[in-house]
Amino acid sequence: MTSIVEISTPTGKVYLLEGQERSVLVDALNDWWQKSILRSVRRRGEDAPGRVKLILLTHGHLDHFGGAPGLRRRLGCQIAIHRLDAGGPRTGRNLPLSTRNLYEKMARPFVSRIRAEPFEPDVMLEGEEGDLSAYGIEARWIRTPGHTEGSISIVFPGQTAIVGDLVVGRFNAPRRPAYPLWVKDPAPVKASVRKVLEYSPRTLLSGHGGPLDADEVRRFFSLV
Ligand SMILES: [Zn+2]
Ligand SMILES: [Zn+2]
């Protein structure tokens, strides 16, 4: 049995997946949250930090991978990302951002300029899906492109899915679903949401806001 612990900060969320003997941290946020993430992991028990074997990045945006190399040093674990999104960590910059509206057009120059420590991931996820049992977690990862090409979701069939930025909570109503930023074409997002919902999760856990009720997500994307 894997339990999912939410670690929430003002800019986003990471999830600690606790298996019987090993744990996986989903995403790492920006570097400035390192201390509070480590504090939350330690709060789970004296041996909790040593149990983390992997930081699994949902995608190659800096607000998710920026803190990963620092946490890797502190936890002595590996970092995994889908090969299609590895350009983010390797350059320490956001992948090219496509814009849909004026707000994104105005924000893009600033967001594109932010830098983080570049690093080489240890594990490259390939293809469309895989199993996490090697890391002691009873779940699968599936590729869910839309927000980025190499975005992944982690699915616990019939229970929960961690979706990164595929779907986010609304800024002013975090438990209501919304399209993520930096998406020019909504069609692949919708197709990936459909893919996630095929695993019949009751709840979707997002990188920003949430938790999101699966039925509400289905209605929001007109997948009823
Ligand atoms: Zn993102
Ligand atoms: Zn994000």
DSSP class of 147: S
How many angstroms separate the alpha carbon of residue 215 from the centre of ligand 1? 23
Helix (H, G, I), strand (E, B) or coil at 71: helix
How many angstroms separate the alpha carbon of residue 72 from the centre of ligand 2? 20
End-to-end CA gap in the chain: 30
How many angstroms separate the alpha carbon of residue 196 from the centre of ligand 2? 18
How far apart are the C-alpha atoms of 218 and 196, rounded to whole Å?
A: 10
How many angstroms separate the alpha carbon of residue 70 from the centre of ligand 1? 20
> Which ligand places an atom closest to the C-alpha of 168?
2
How many angstroms separate the alpha carbon of residue 27 from the centre of ligand 2? 10
CA 140 to centroid of chain Cα atoms: 14
How many angstroms separate the alpha carbon of residue 147 from the centre of ligand 1? 7
How many angstroms separate the alpha carbon of residue 29 from the centre of ligand 1? 10
How many angstroms separate the alpha carbon of residue 119 from the centre of ligand 1? 18
Pairing of strands 160-164, 152-156: antiparallel
Residue-level pLDDT at 224: 79
How many angstroms separate the alpha carbon of residue 115 from the centre of ligand 1? 15
Residue-level pLDDT at 193: 98
Residue-level pLDDT at 11: 93
Going from the C-alpha of 66 to that of each of 55, 87, 90, 210, the distances in angstroms are 12, 13, 11, 22
How many angstroms separate the alpha carbon of residue 133 from the centre of ligand 1? 26
How far apart are the C-alpha atoms of 149 and 214, rounded to whole Å?
A: 23
* Whether this model's pTM surpasses 0.95: yes
Do 156 and 139 contact (CB within 8 A), yes or no?
A: yes
Do 56 and 28 contact (CB within 8 A), yes or no?
A: no
How many angstroms separate the alpha carbon of residue 21 from the centre of ligand 1? 30
Do 19 and 138 contact (CB within 8 A), yes or no?
A: yes
Question: Which stretches of 58-213 are DSSP H helices?
Answer: 62-65, 68-75, 87-91, 102-113, 186-197
Do 164 and 201 contact (CB within 8 A), yes or no?
A: no
How many angstroms separate the alpha carbon of residue 165 from the centre of ligand 1? 5
Tokens of 100: 């849909």
How far apart are the C-alpha atoms of 54 and 75, rounded to whole Å?
A: 9
- pLDDT tens digits in sequence order for the chain, 224 residues long: 899 999 999 999 999 999 999 999 999 999 999 999 999 999 999 999 999 999 999 999 999 999 999 999 999 999 999 999 999 999 999 998 888 889 899 999 988 889 999 999 999 999 999 999 999 999 999 999 999 999 999 999 999 999 999 999 998 999 999 999 999 899 999 999 999 999 999 999 999 999 999 999 999 999 97
CA angle, residues 34, 5, 51, in degrees to nearest 5: 70
